[in-house]
């Protein structure tokens, strides 16, 4: 007659719950892929070891994978360090800023180079040495560098010639991108580029973001832990230090922009084999402990294209200029 169910009537007749009392039931579940305390302690021990204490998890995890060792994912490393209050910013640099590239695409080494000049302080106040450095945007390899006590287009053109010969790129069309400084746009420099068949490219005036790869390389150079805290006594001392840095950077530094392989390995074309080996390590780790994995393994696919200022491609194509560097 009332049009209600028996259960509704029973619910009405039950005493009202106390104010602010939550009547919902909860079930405490432990995730199947949760790290054990022993695994967390292993992560802490690795990060605090002599070999890895100065490196972030983004560098540690690929290095372990290269040794055939898998402990946990990169995010697990960061989360465990955060729980132990050890995930703090280290070094002299500020938080990384992302740059917006535009203009050219490299699908292999020796297609697009960028270069710039940076200051190295001398022992005499107000005096500087000048580091000229050319890098390949595809592999991030430093293909040529020199330190001088002045900057002009004659020295820059000599550096480009040396890079052109050492890389053996005769007959290939290479794009060389730089800022708008006088050494970059001097008559001797432009004549050298024309003679070698190198396509010049320049940043917008007063926009350093248009040359991000060289800027990022100089930041790595000047904020590396072994960068001298005092000025260089002589130009020979500066050259010796830069030589050591370039050897480390090209052959040992695992670059975050190319899936944490070294620039030399990528320049030689063996990065694909390294990344395939890392994938096998991760697949084997997932096979051993499938409960630890709730999704796919980390993506170790090789990066096939590297862009320099890609937002500028459309406008450059309309003008018939070079927007893609072909092999």
DSSP string, 105-174: EESSSSSEEEEEEEEEEBSSTT-EEEEEEEEETTT--EEEEEEESS--HHHHHHHHHHHHHHTT-TT--E
Whether residue 117 is found in the same domain as residue 53: no
Structure tokens at 283: 């697949």
Number of domains in the chain: 2
Whether residue 248 is found in the same domain as residue 283: no
Burial of 135 (0-12, 13-18, 19+ CB in 10 A): buried
Read off the CATH number of the domain in which 118 is found.
3.30.420.10
Domain carrying residue 66: 33-90+269-300
Whether residue 82 is found in the same domain as residue 44: yes
Whether residue 124 is found in the same domain as residue 212: yes
Interval 166-218: pLDDT, tens: 998 877 889 999 988 888 888 989 999 888 989 888 887 767 678 889 999 99
Q: What is the pTM of this model?
A: 0.75
CB contact set of 25 (below 8 Å; sequence gap of 6+):
none
Whether residue 250 is found in the same domain as residue 121: yes
Whether residue 170 is found in the same domain as residue 147: yes
User: In the predicted model, what is the mean pLDDT of residues 50-71?
Assistant: 92
pLDDT at 33 over 90: no
The side-by-side arrangement of strands in the sheet containing 198-202 is: 142-148, 128-136, 112-121, 174-178, 198-202
Whether residue 39 is found in the same domain as residue 72: yes
Assess if residue 186 is contained within a domain: yes
Whether residue 131 is found in the same domain as residue 168: yes
Whether residue 215 is found in the same domain as residue 287: no
Q: Residue 22 and residue 292: Cα distance in Å, rounded?
A: 33
User: In the predicted model, what is the mean pLDDT of residues 210-232?
Assistant: 93
């Amino acid at each position: 007659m009332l049009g209600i169910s028996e259960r509704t009537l029973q619910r009405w007749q039950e005493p009202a719950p106390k104010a602010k009392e939550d009547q919902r039931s909860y079930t405490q579940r432990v995730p199947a892929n949760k790290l054990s305390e022993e695994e967390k302690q292993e992560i802490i021990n690795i990060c605090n070891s002599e070999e890895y204490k100065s490196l972030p998890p983004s560098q540690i995890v690929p290095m372990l994978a290269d040794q055939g060792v898998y402990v946990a994912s990169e995010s697990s490393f960061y989360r465990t360090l955060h729980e132990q209050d050890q995930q703090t910013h280290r070094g002299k640099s500020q938080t990384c800023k992302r740059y917006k590239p535009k203009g050219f695409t490299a699908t292999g080494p020796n297609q697009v180079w960028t270069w710039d000049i940076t200051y190295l302080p001398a022992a005499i106040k107000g005096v500087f040495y000048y580091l000229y450095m050319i890098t390949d945007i595809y592999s991030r390899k430093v293909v040529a560098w020199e330190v001088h006590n002045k900057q002009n287009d004659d020295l820059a053109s000599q550096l480009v010639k040396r890079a052109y010969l050492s890389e053996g790129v005769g007959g290939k069309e290479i794009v060389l991108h730089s800022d708008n400084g006088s050494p970059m746009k001097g008559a001797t420099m432009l004549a050298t580029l024309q003679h070698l068949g190198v396509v010049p490219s320049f940043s917008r005036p007063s926009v350093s973001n248009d040359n991000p790869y060289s800027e990022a390389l100089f930041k790595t150079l000047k904020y590396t832990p072994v960068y001298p805290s005092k000025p260089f006594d002589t130009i020979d001392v500066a050259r010796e230090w830069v030589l050591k840095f370039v050897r480390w950077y090209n052959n040992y530094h695992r670059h975050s922009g190319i899936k944490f392989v070294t620039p030399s390995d990528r320049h030689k074309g063996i990065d694909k084999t390294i990344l395939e080996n890392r994938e096998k390590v991760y697949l084997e780790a997932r096979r051993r402990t499938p409960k630890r994995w709730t999704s796919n393994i980390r993506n170790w696919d090789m990066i096939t294209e590297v862009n320099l200022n890609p937002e500028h491609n459309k406008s450059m194509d309309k003008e018939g200029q070079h927007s893609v560097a072909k092999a």
